[in-house]
Amino acid sequence: MKPTNLKPEEFAGHFATYINQVSNEYSLTEELEISVHRLIKFVQNIPLDKFDYRYAEGKWTIKDILQHLIDAERIFAYRALRFARNDKTELSGFEENDYVDEANANNRSIQDLLTELAVVRQATLSMFKSFSEEELMRKGIASKNPISVRALGFVIIGHQNHHQRVFQERYL
Q: Which helix (H) or strand (E) segment is 4 a member of?
A: none
CA distance 158 to 72: 12
Kindly provide the b/e burial profile for residues 114-134, where b requires at least 16 CB atoms within 10 angstroms of the residue's own CB. beebeebbeebbebbeebeee
Tens of pLDDT, residue by residue over 87-129, are 999 999 999 999 999 999 999 999 999 999 999 999 999 999 9
pTM greater than 0.85 (yes/no): yes
CATH of 3-171, one of 3.40.50.720, 1.10.1660.10, 1.10.10.60, 1.20.120.450: 1.20.120.450
Percent of the chain at pLDDT exceeding 70: 100
pLDDT grade, residue 6 (50/70/90)? very high
